[in-house]
């Protein structure tokens, strides 16, 4: 089944559990949508990115969290609280993994390809940055649609709600956007208000403004480079 055919993904509500499995393909991003029955130990570390210091975590091979905690929250306690709040009672370790740096380097770049995976047992696609996510069917639909927003472009909350087939669910859409666990790579910052204001952002409106300005500048630079060629 393809994403274009149905947005009602047959997933259980909640963090983990049994479900049917469906495959979604959108642009250069593939998602195997299945609620995982378990999660391996999570490793995390703090990394410098073009948007400031980020908390990046993985289950060793797949990115499961990118967060921007701010200058006062670079502690083990903060990281473990953030991860426990999102993933429950899992083993959390402060440990550098190669995929962390790959994610840090990918942030803010227009040419990155990611593979979103919901089943920890699934193999990653060669050449793509693997991202492990879990969520409700509605959240997964929202996150998938976020990944369809091209680099340097924006959508309104209303447009996003319509695209997932729930035109009146603006508030629920906003809530799902706020629960996006992998900021930047799943580009929730590209959703803005219909009145032109950039709107709220889980990690702060100033950071959202920086992200949008960065992408706009990159898009213009790439266009100018293409014209010169």
Q: How many domains, in total, are found in the chain?
A: 1
pTM here is 0.80
- pLDDT for position 112: 87
Place of tokens 């995982």: 36
Per DSSP (E only), the strands in 74-211 are: 92-94, 114-117, 129-132, 155-156, 191-192
Of 64, 118, 147, 188, the catalytic one is 188
- pLDDT for position 181: 95
Place of tokens 């032109």: 196
- pLDDT for position 114: 86
Cα–chain-centroid distance for residue 83? 15
- pLDDT for position 134: 86
Start-to-end Cα distance in the chain: 41
- pLDDT for position 118: 72
Place of tokens 């629960």: 179
- pLDDT for position 88: 86
- pLDDT for position 161: 96
- pLDDT for position 3: 33
Domain carrying residue 189: 1-229
CATH number of the CATH domain containing 214? 1.10.10.10
Mean pLDDT by 10 residues, the chain (229 residues): 33 36 42 50 95 94 93 86 89 96 95 80 78 89 92 95 94 94 96 94 95 87 47
- 118 catalytic per annotation: no
């Amino acid at each position: 089944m393809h994403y274009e055919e149905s947005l009602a993904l047959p997933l259980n509500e909640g963090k983990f559990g049994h479900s049917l499995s469906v495959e979604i393909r959108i642009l250069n991003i593939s998602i195997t949508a299945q609620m995982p029955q378990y999660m391996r130990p999570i490793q995390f570390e703090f990394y410098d990115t073009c948007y400031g210091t980020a908390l990046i975590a993985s289950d060793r091979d797949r990115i499961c969290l990118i967060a921007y905690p701010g200058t006062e929250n670079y502690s083990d306690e903060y990281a473990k609280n953030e991860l426990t709040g999102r993933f429950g009672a899992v083993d959390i370790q402060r440990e550098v993994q190669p995929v962390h740096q790959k994610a840090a380097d990918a942030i803010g770049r227009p040419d990155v390809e990611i593979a979103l995976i919901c089943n920890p047992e699934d193999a990653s696609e060669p050449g793509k940055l693997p991202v492990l996510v879990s969520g409700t069917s509605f959240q997964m639909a929202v996150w998938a649609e976020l990944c369809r927003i091209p680099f340097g472009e924006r959508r309104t909350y209303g447009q996003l709600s319509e695209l997932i087939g729930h035109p009146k669910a603006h508030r629920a859409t906003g809530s799902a956007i706020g629960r996006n666990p992998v900021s930047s790579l799943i580009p929730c910052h590209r959703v803005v208000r219909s009145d032109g204001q950039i709107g709220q952002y889980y990690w702060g409106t100033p950071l959202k403004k920086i992200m949008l300005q960065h992408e706009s500048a990159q898009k213009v630079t790439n266009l100018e480079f293409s014209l010169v060629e």
